[in-house]
Amino acid sequence: QMPRGNLETIHPRALVLSAVRKYLDSLEFGQAFVCMRKHRLNLNLIYDHCPQSFLDNVQKFVQQVKLVDYINLFLTDLREEDCTVTMYTAAYNRSAPVVDEGTNRPSKVDKVCEVVRQALVSEDEKKYLLSILTSYVRKSTPELEAALLMVKTLRAMPSDQQTMSAEEVLKYLVFLVDVNEMFDVALGTYDFDLVLMVAEKSQKDPKEYIPFLNKLRKLEGHFQLYTIDEHLKRYSNALGHISKCGPEHFETCKTLIQKHKLYTEALQLFPVSSEEYKSIAKLYGDYLSDKRRHLEAGIIYLNAEEWERALQDFQVCLQWRQVFCMTARLKYSCDTEADIARKLAEQMKMKKQYLDAAHVLEQYAKDTEEAIVCLIDGCLWEEALRMMYKYGRTDFIETHLMEALTENYNQQMETLENCKSEFDKYKKRLAVVREEKEKARLEFLESGGAGNFADADLFSDTSSATGESIQSSRYSSESARSGRSSLYSKSSGSSVKNRRKAEHKRWKLKEGSQFEDFALIAALAKLIKMVDDMRDEMNALLRVLLQFHQYKQAADIQRAYDRLLTQMDRGIPEIWQDSEEGKESQPMLGPMTTANSIAQAVQRGQSLEHSQEKLDPVIRIPPTLRKEVSWKLHVLDSGSSKT
Amino acid sequence: QMPRGNLETIHPRALVLSAVRKYLDSLEFGQAFVCMRKHRLNLNLIYDHCPQSFLDNVQKFVQQVKLVDYINLFLTDLREEDCTVTMYTAAYNRSAPVVDEGTNRPSKVDKVCEVVRQALVSEDEKKYLLSILTSYVRKSTPELEAALLMVKTLRAMPSDQQTMSAEEVLKYLVFLVDVNEMFDVALGTYDFDLVLMVAEKSQKDPKEYIPFLNKLRKLEGHFQLYTIDEHLKRYSNALGHISKCGPEHFETCKTLIQKHKLYTEALQLFPVSSEEYKSIAKLYGDYLSDKRRHLEAGIIYLNAEEWERALQDFQVCLQWRQVFCMTARLKYSCDTEADIARKLAEQMKMKKQYLDAAHVLEQYAKDTEEAIVCLIDGCLWEEALRMMYKYGRTDFIETHLMEALTENYNQQMETLENCKSEFDKYKKRLAVVREEKEKARLEFLESGGAGNFADADLFSDTSSATGESIQSSRYSSESARSGRSSLYSKSSGSSVKNRRKAEHKRWKLKEGSQFEDFALIAALAKLIKMVDDMRDEMNALLRVLLQFHQYKQAADIQRAYDRLLTQMDRGIPEIWQDSEEGKESQPMLGPMTTANSIAQAVQRGQSLEHSQEKLDPVIRIPPTLRKEVSWKLHVLDSGSSKT
């Protein structure tokens, strides 16, 4: 180009931009490109100006821009950011789109590379070879292997069909990408010639890589591939190869699996019940057992047909059904089985799984007496009676059941009384605390006015949970003691741990503490849940009391429980007020209100809304009583209404 | 009193009242009474003026008023109403106290009668005899018996100690109270002389009551008392008397019990296990059984030691434990027991109580094969395996279990897919319906303005539930099919009925129906509950899939379930918005707002509050996922993240 006069060089950016936009609008990509290049505009604009138009007309873009170098320039200049938002804001006045951090939206660069490559291939694959390579390399995760395979294809062609030599192309590639990375990718194609070609372009010392490559060359088939993948840290692939290397390499395979925890993948590579499969399952079982994931360890040991080890793990997590599947499989003697049963039952009793423990004692320890005692301990009255009748041991009714029944009755009565007094106490205190808070808030509003929203938060019951653990209620343990075991009892310790953790983040019940109201609500929720959960055991107790002629006790405890439930049901709307100011805000509009009172009311409503969003569900959501679980005996009801 | 001049008779009520008040304030009850009587003021004022002062100085009142007639006048004039509120409002300007309709506050008349009587008794019991009687009769439930007993005491006294004859007193009583009522009360004292005295005062025909009384006189002891009480419809008392009449009258006793349903009371009158006790319990059992309250009937039959009838009722309500207590007690043969077991298990299977049904089949029908099949049908995989091993029937794994497992897997997968699509569909539709409602409401507000609150309710999502039943979701039955039985399964049909009734009051899902949004929320809540409830069965399925090497299926279904749970968890805050207008109302205050916009915002918040109070809890309270129930197998989790 010829040198030009000074005047000609004045090109205000805004005018240039305007011209470029016109070119782009009329799909004159060539003109636009030349102009942008001359005035060093960001080439991303070609796409960002109107992404859909570019995508629709990418073929035209390639045809107009034409030159390989230009297209390479465009591709290498691509950035994820939208330059109409970041750089040319004045011209576009577009606002940045709302980006969800969570969702993986497709990369702009990847999208453009992909469509440009397709256009190039359909235009002239040979001519645009370098551009095509660039489009591979520029992707957010560069497709180096695809690029290298192109080099390989090129090398395989007769030289008269080549527009460029493989050497040249490789040189260009190495210019774009770190050569060491390229070396690994080449190695990953398992093509030693390609590796050598790349290696020659690198700064690597041939004394290093030649022996390495020679060593690899000497290895055979799958083991060679395994070694390469292992070297490249592609462990999944390595596992695939080594698994095909036969029994002589199985030890290596096992080491690989253990080192990189590829157990589940490995199990899918060998036929079920093959020696290898079992061996891997055993390793996996060992691993899980070590990690104290006993239930899963047990199941995996089953896959390994390692019955004894499975037995041990199932024993630890009290999976009694599985335990006795194992003892049967292992053909243990009755005595051994009985020993295991007795130990297991002891542990199950400690976990309150009385029903299952009793079955274990009955069926495997063959100890009817212990089984009956266990059922009575668990307050499983009807099952206890059934077993007594089954084995003709109704003498236990007098010797054990009646006493336990009285004790359970007394204990439940006491629990109900304690719950009632606790409930009353917390509820009263909550009303006091709320009143105090409301007073403080109103005082603050009066003094500070309705203006300063930020400070108002101080009084708006907001703030996430802080403080130490709530005092652990003594009732939780009491209710558990008299509770019965669930059918399939979960024994994964993790859930217990989580629950405990959750309890730690609660607030303090101490009088006057900052979030005392929350602590009170949480404590009330716990009480309500606990009492509501007693429905089934209460029903069982009532039935057996009635069966043994104890009308009075049955009627008394039914009345006490019924009253407590009713009291709690009535208390719930009071404790979980939909909005604390509900009643006050009713005369918010009307002849008596002023602009100020309306504003205050509005602000009140608003701060409440904010805080509720952040609140723990315990505070926000009132518990629901399981009214659908019927527990009452109507026999007792009608009796009490008549006396 | 001497006639007085005209001028003297002018006594403006206000001045009189003022004088009376002064008298009362200075506790000059005598003066006050005379003045009030002369000017016909309401005598209630003596108490109402200052109740506490009257109660504290009632002795003084009696001493000052003195005359029997005056005190009688005061007592008969007593009314429940507070005359300072109803009659002499101007002088007192007191507002009516807030009365809780529910609570039984003690009657004012009763209170005054009580304290005045005490004062009279301590003053001079004989002199004030008639006043004391009046105080009994004037009580809200007249204590006629006490009054009559006074007459009786009087009659028993030597005549020289009497200030009045019993005759006279009775005459006074009959003047106050209906004589027929008096007759019954006299009869209730079991004192025939007294009855005769009263009868003579009445208009009754002696030809009627004399033979009746003579007939009664001839009866003996408790039976006489029973007949009287039965005649007076005092059935509880009658029962007490007849129960003491010995075996020859026991039939009458039973008739009484049955006629007036006095079962529970009657049971407490006879020693446990006496023939009478058992006989009554049997009657009660028959009654309950007739009323289809089989569980309670069964228990009561136990009290009656009617084992066979108990057995029948327990069978009907599937109380299998009790059933086999009965068969043992009745010493049924093994064959009979097996027959019962088989029938029972069939019914239990229909109610999805597979675990218990299997135990019945195993232990009482001694049919291991059926038991195993039953467990497999109930998807109780581990228990099925245990039983197979216990009886050496692992052949069932191939013949039954594997097929059922595949079927269950497919079915659960389908359920998850259906739930997911249903969830998406309802959620989308809910957003549309809400938008439409919001638009309609805003249009309404714009046209109608913020004034007319009443009409605004039309759009405020208020109104109690109307419309017909929601379409019964097909999933509810599906989930039940694959569900497992609960440990102690309730079989009281009433709770099922209640639940069904509750479902009938729901809203219509039909597009465009008035409460479509509520119907959608209810349907979504049901879906979420159903999916959340699958945790345990999903865990069991995953375990057994893994045990039988079906990694892929296990991982697939774990992923599908996990995704659905996550999706629902995220959807909950969207569906149960704390307040629909939450986001909009944020810029309610600030430079851009007008008085009108604030008023609208306030009104919006208010109508919402109103409606929420009336709403069904399903709409108001978001469901909570039972995140504490762990169901995942981590083994499968890590596998899926690596492939």
| Type and span of the H or E element at B271 | none
pLDDT over threshold 70, residue A641: no
Rounded Cα–Cα distance for residues A246 and A37 (Å): 60
Which residue among A328, A602, A643 sits closest to B588, beta carbon to beta carbon?
A602
Q: What is the pLDDT of residue A505?
A: 52
Which residue among B264, B322, B582 sits closest to A382, beta carbon to beta carbon?
B322
A468 secondary structure, DSSP code: S
Please check whether residue B367 is in contact with residue B351, taking contact to mean a CB–CB distance below 8 angstroms.
Answer: no
Residues in chain A with CB shorter than 8 Å from the CB of B355 are 487
Local confidence band at A612 (pLDDT 50, 70, 90 cut-offs): very low
Q: Cβ–Cβ of A265/B392 closer than 8 Å?
A: no
Q: Within 13 Å of residue B275, how many CA atoms lie on the same side as its CB?
A: 4
Is any Cβ of chain B less than 8 angstroms from the Cβ of A105?
no
3-state secondary structure B169-222: HHHHHHHHCCHHHHHHHHHHCCCHHHHHHHHHHCCCCHHHHHHHHHHHHHCCHH
Both tokens of A346, joined, read: 């002891």
pLDDT over threshold 90, residue A515: no
Beta strands in B80-202 (DSSP E): none
Least Cα separation, residue B458 to chain A (angstroms): 19
| Type and span of the H or E element at B532 | helix B516-532
Amino acid letter, residue B271: P
How many Å is the Cα radius of gyration of chain A?
39
Q: Which of A274, A487, A624 to mutate to test the interface with B (most CBs of B within 10 A)?
A: A487
To the nearest whole percent, how much of chain A has pLDDT over 70?
81
Local confidence band at A460 (pLDDT 50, 70, 90 cut-offs): very low
pLDDT in tens, A158-204: 777 777 788 888 888 888 888 888 888 888 888 888 888 888 887 77
Residues in chain B with CB shorter than 8 Å from the CB of A321 are 382-383, 385-386
Residues in chain A with CB shorter than 8 Å from the CB of B634 are 293, 296
Rounded Cα–Cα distance for residues B238 and B241 (Å): 5
B462 secondary structure, DSSP code: -
- What are the Cα distances from residue B506, in Å, to B475, B501, B612, B621? 17, 10, 16, 16
Average pLDDT over residues B496-522: 68
Q: Between residues B58 and A451, which one has the greater pLDDT? A: B58
Least Cα separation, residue B628 to chain A (angstroms): 6
Q: Which of B543, B576, B585, B626 to mutate to test the interface with A (most CBs of A within 10 A)?
A: B543
Please check whether residue B445 is in contact with residue B375, taking contact to mean a CB–CB distance below 8 angstroms.
Answer: no
Residues in chain B with CB shorter than 8 Å from the CB of A329 are 389
pLDDT in tens, A388-443: 999 999 999 999 999 999 999 999 999 999 999 999 999 999 999 988 888 888 88
Rounded Cα–Cα distance for residues A189 and A146 (Å): 10
Rounded Cα–Cα distance for residues B201 and B183 (Å): 10
Rounded Cα–Cα distance for residues A594 and B530 (Å): 50
Rounded Cα–Cα distance for residues A197 and A156 (Å): 13
Local confidence band at A516 (pLDDT 50, 70, 90 cut-offs): confident
pLDDT in tens, B225-248: 898 888 889 898 899 888 888 888
Is any Cβ of chain B less than 8 angstroms from the Cβ of A454?
no
Which residue among B293, B386, B589 sits closest to A321, beta carbon to beta carbon?
B386
Please check whether residue A140 is in contact with residue A147, taking contact to mean a CB–CB distance below 8 angstroms.
Answer: no
Rounded Cα–Cα distance for residues B107 and B333 (Å): 66
Is any Cβ of chain B less than 8 angstroms from the Cβ of A570?
no
Q: What is the pLDDT of residue A388?
A: 96
Q: Cβ–Cβ of B262/A324 closer than 8 Å?
A: no
Q: For helices A320-329 and A307-316, give the axis angle rounded to 10 degrees.
A: 160
Both tokens of B133, joined, read: 């009687």
Q: Cβ–Cβ of B325/A264 closer than 8 Å?
A: no
Which residue among B329, B605, B635 sits closest to A296, beta carbon to beta carbon?
B635
Q: What is the pLDDT of residue A602?
A: 52
Which residue among A293, A582, A635 sits closest to B300, beta carbon to beta carbon?
A635
Least Cα separation, residue A195 to chain B (angstroms): 28
Residues in chain B with CB shorter than 8 Å from the CB of A581 are none
pLDDT in tens, A245-271: 888 889 999 999 999 999 988 988 999
- What are the Cα distances from residue A359, in Å, to A379, B341, B359, B393, B456? 15, 19, 11, 20, 63
Q: Which of A395, A343, A389, A392 is nearest to A365 (CA)?
A: A343
B 238-267 → A contacts, CB under 8 A:
261-262, 264-265, 267
Q: What is the pLDDT of residue B396?
A: 95
Rounded Cα–Cα distance for residues A538 and A381 (Å): 12
| Stated length of chain A | 643
Is any Cβ of chain B less than 8 angstroms from the Cβ of A129?
no
Q: Cβ–Cβ of A642/B601 closer than 8 Å?
A: no
pLDDT in tens, B306-337: 999 999 999 999 999 999 999 999 999 999 99
Distance between alpha carbon B159 and the CA centroid of its chain, in Å? 56
pLDDT over threshold 50, residue B583: no
Q: Cβ–Cβ of A630/B582 closer than 8 Å?
A: no
To the nearest whole percent, how much of chain B has pLDDT over 70?
81
Q: Between A and B, how many residue pairs show a Cβ–Cβ distance under 8 A?
A: 203
- Give the CA angle between residues A378, A384, A390 to the nearest 5°: 155
Q: Which of A383, A381, A329 is nearest to A361 (CA)?
A: A383
Distance between alpha carbon A473 and the CA centroid of its chain, in Å? 30
Q: Cβ–Cβ of A635/B389 closer than 8 Å?
A: no
Rounded Cα–Cα distance for residues B124 and B361 (Å): 82
pLDDT over threshold 70, residue A7: no
Least Cα separation, residue A605 to chain B (angstroms): 8
Q: Cβ–Cβ of A630/B495 closer than 8 Å?
A: yes
Residues 6+ apart with CB under 8 A from A250: A276, A279
Which residue among B322, B624, B633 sits closest to A617, beta carbon to beta carbon?
B624
Please check whether residue A60 is in contact with residue A28, taking contact to mean a CB–CB distance below 8 angstroms.
Answer: no
Q: Which of A109, A47, A52 is nearest to A80 (CA)?
A: A109
Q: Cβ–Cβ of A595/B595 closer than 8 Å?
A: yes
Q: What is the pLDDT of residue B506?
A: 60
pLDDT over threshold 50, residue A491: no
Local confidence band at A533 (pLDDT 50, 70, 90 cut-offs): very high
Chain B: residue whose CA lies nearest to A326: B389
Local confidence band at B465 (pLDDT 50, 70, 90 cut-offs): very low
pLDDT in tens, A569-579: 999 888 887 54
Q: Report the C-alpha dihedral over residues A525, A530, A533, A539, rounded to 10 degrees.
A: -130
* End-to-end Cα distance, chain B: 117
To the nearest whole percent, how much of chain A has pLDDT over 90?
34
Which residue among A321, A488, A589 sits closest to B385, beta carbon to beta carbon?
A321
Q: Which of B541, B536, B553, B530 is nearest to B475 (CA)?
A: B530
**Residue indicated by tokens 């230009």:** A70
pLDDT over threshold 80, residue B488: no
Average pLDDT over residues A531-553: 93
Least Cα separation, residue B291 to chain A (angstroms): 12
pLDDT in tens, B69-127: 888 888 888 888 888 888 887 777 777 666 555 556 678 888 888 898 989 888 888 88
Q: Between residues B494 and A117, which one has the greater pLDDT? A: A117
Amino acid letter, residue B519: A
Is any Cβ of chain B less than 8 angstroms from the Cβ of A319?
yes
Which residue among A284, A582, A621 sits closest to B609, beta carbon to beta carbon?
A582
Q: Report the C-alpha dihedral over residues A120, A125, A126, A131, rounded to 10 degrees.
A: 40
Q: Which of B101, B86, B83, B98 is nearest to B36 (CA)?
A: B83
Q: Cβ–Cβ of A630/B236 closer than 8 Å?
A: no
Q: Which of the residue ranges A118-127, B192-201, B598-607 would you say has the lowest mean pLDDT?
A: B598-607
In DSSP notation, A619-630 reads HHS-----TTS-
Using left for φ > 0, alpha for ψ between -120 and 50, and beta otherwise, residue B318 falls in: left
| Type and span of the H or E element at A522 | helix A516-532
Rounded Cα–Cα distance for residues B136 and B138 (Å): 6
Which residue among B302, B543, B595 sits closest to A547, beta carbon to beta carbon?
B302
Residues in chain B with CB shorter than 8 Å from the CB of A362 are none
Residues 6+ apart with CB under 8 A from B499: A628
Q: What is the pLDDT of residue A594?
A: 54
ipTM above 0.90, yes or no: no
Q: Which of the residue ranges A273-287, B360-374, B501-515, B533-547 would you say has the lowest mean pLDDT?
A: B501-515
Q: Cβ–Cβ of A605/B622 closer than 8 Å?
A: no
pLDDT over threshold 50, residue A30: yes
Average pLDDT over residues B366-395: 95
pLDDT over threshold 60, residue A463: no
Q: Between residues B386 and B162, which one has the greater pLDDT? A: B386
pLDDT in tens, A357-397: 999 999 999 999 999 999 999 999 999 999 999 999 999 99
Which residue among B321, B589, B613 sits closest to A386, beta carbon to beta carbon?
B321
Amino acid letter, residue A513: S
Q: Cβ–Cβ of A382/B605 closer than 8 Å?
A: no
pLDDT over threshold 90, residue B619: no
In DSSP notation, B324-371 reads HHHHHHTT--HHHHHHHHHHHHHHHHHTT-HHHHHHHHHHTS--HHHH
Q: Cβ–Cβ of A328/B389 closer than 8 Å?
A: yes
Q: Which of A267, A453, A549, A598 to mutate to test the interface with B (most CBs of B within 10 A)?
A: A549
- What are the Cα distances from residue B419, in Å, to A201, B572, B629? 59, 15, 20
pLDDT in tens, B403-462: 999 999 999 999 999 999 999 999 999 999 988 888 888 888 777 655 444 444 444 443
Q: Which pairs from A361-368 meet CB under 8 Å and 24+ separation? A: A362/A387, A363/A324, A363/B390, A364/A324, A364/A327, A364/A337, A364/A338, A364/A340, A365/A338, A365/A341, A366/A334, A366/A338, A367/A338, A367/A342, A368/A393
Rounded Cα–Cα distance for residues A401 and A381 (Å): 8
Which residue among A299, A579, A643 sits closest to B543, beta carbon to beta carbon?
A299
Residues in chain A with CB shorter than 8 Å from the CB of B603 are 589
Residues in chain B with CB shorter than 8 Å from the CB of A620 are 578
- Give the CA angle between residues B236, B241, B245 to the nearest 5°: 140
Look at residue B125 and give its three-state secondary structure. coil
Q: Cβ–Cβ of B630/A495 closer than 8 Å?
A: yes
Q: Which of B325, B397, B501 to mutate to test the interface with A (most CBs of A within 10 A)?
A: B325
pLDDT over threshold 50, residue A482: no
Q: What is the pLDDT of residue B610?
A: 42
Q: Which of A85, A87, A82, A86 is nearest to A95 (CA)?
A: A85
Chain B: residue whose CA lies nearest to A271: B549
Mean pLDDT for chain B overall: 81
Least Cα separation, residue B404 to chain A (angstroms): 19
Which residue among A319, A389, A486 sits closest to B324, beta carbon to beta carbon?
A389
Q: Between residues A77 and A99, which one has the greater pLDDT? A: A77
Q: What is the pLDDT of residue A13?
A: 78
